[in-house]
Amino acid sequence: MKAFTTHTGVGIPLRRSNVDTDQIIPAVYLKRISRTGFEDGLFAAWRSDPTFVLNNEAYKAGSVLVAGPDFGTGSSREHAVWALMDYGIRVVISPRFADIFRGNSGKGGLLAAQVTHEDDELLLKWLENHPGDAVTVDLKERRITCGPLSIPFEIDDYTRWRLLEGLDDIALTLRQVDAIADFERQRSPLKPVALPTGA
């Protein structure tokens, strides 16, 4: 995973709550077996609407998405993170993220920055009134700056550390391989296995 420290890019105001992962990428776009190439599916239904924010030239090349609350609800599809990143989005800002989406973001190198409802509204308003303005997101300082706004954001310490270092979760866990083996030795033999029974 690529390390994330600071990112500056055009802010995209997406004034919607409950942006579920079916909107971020509809199911028909999930049939690829690679981790890339999902940009065409991003907001596929909404992009056919000429008034959709990503169809506005000022926002089109944006990389910092500012949305309403409950972003990433619904399906666990990590393709939602891949589609956002394939399009060029590096940061999503929202007052509340769905748990699975937040986790997937941290794994894929997309920064999910949580702000208060009030600050989210300030950011949305500013970007709506100043199309094409840049947003800077500083992960070290946990701070978002945009025009006159300077806003703190929340992200848990562990995810922040992993993003800053660009660390691979599996390699980290495999440092505990002895503890895993110990756990397996004392695990109840009554727990089921998926293999055919009576074999």
Partner 1 sequence: MSRTMAEKVWESHVVHRAEGEPDLLYIDMHLIHEVTSPQAFEGLRQAGRPVRRPDLTLATEDHNVPTLDIDRPIADPTSRKQVDTLRANCEEFGIRLFPMGNSEQGIVHVVGPQRGLTQPGMTIVCGDSHTSTHGAFGALAFGIGTSEVEHVLATQTLPLKPFKTMAITVTGALPEGVSSKDLILAVIAKIGTGGGQGYVLEYRGEAVRRLSMEARMTICNMSIEAGARAGMIAPDQTTFDYLKGREHVPSGADWDAAVEYWSSLATDDDAVFDAEVVIDGSALTPFVTWGTNPGQGAPLSASVPDPASFADEGARQAAERALKYMDLEAGTRLRDIRVDTVFLGSCTNGRIEDLRAAADVIRGRHIAPNLRMLVVPGSMRVKAQAEREGLDAVFTAFGAEWRSSGCSMCLGMNPDQLAPGERCASTSNRNFEGRQGKGGRTHLVSPVVAAATAVRGTLSTPTDLEPAVVG
Site residues for partner 1 per CB under 8 A:
15-18, 20, 22-23, 26-28, 30-35, 45, 68-70, 73-79, 81, 96-100, 103-104, 107-108, 156-158, 169-170, 172-174, 176-177, 179-180, 183-184, 187-188, 190-197
Contact 109, 166 (CB under 8 A): yes
Distance of alpha carbon 102 from alpha carbon 91, whole angstroms: 12
| Closest CB to partner 1 among residues 57, 178 | 178
CB of 186 to partner 1, least distance (A): 10
Contact 71, 19 (CB under 8 A): yes
CA angle 9, 100, 22 (to 5 degrees): 75
3-state SS string over 90-153? CEEEECCECHHHHHHHHHHCCEEEECCHHHHHHHHHHHHHCCCCEEEEECCCCEEEECCEEEEC
| Closest CB to partner 1 among residues 9, 114 | 114
| Closest CB to partner 1 among residues 45, 61 | 45
Q: Assign residue 132 a region: left if phi > 0, alpha if psi is -120 to 50, beta otherwise? A: left
| Closest CB to partner 1 among residues 48, 148 | 48
Distance of alpha carbon 55 from alpha carbon 115, whole angstroms: 26
CB of 134 to partner 1, least distance (A): 26
CB of 162 to partner 1, least distance (A): 10
CB neighbours (10 Å) of residue 104?
A: 21
| Closest CB to partner 1 among residues 65, 81 | 81
CB of 27 to partner 1, least distance (A): 5
CB of 128 to partner 1, least distance (A): 14
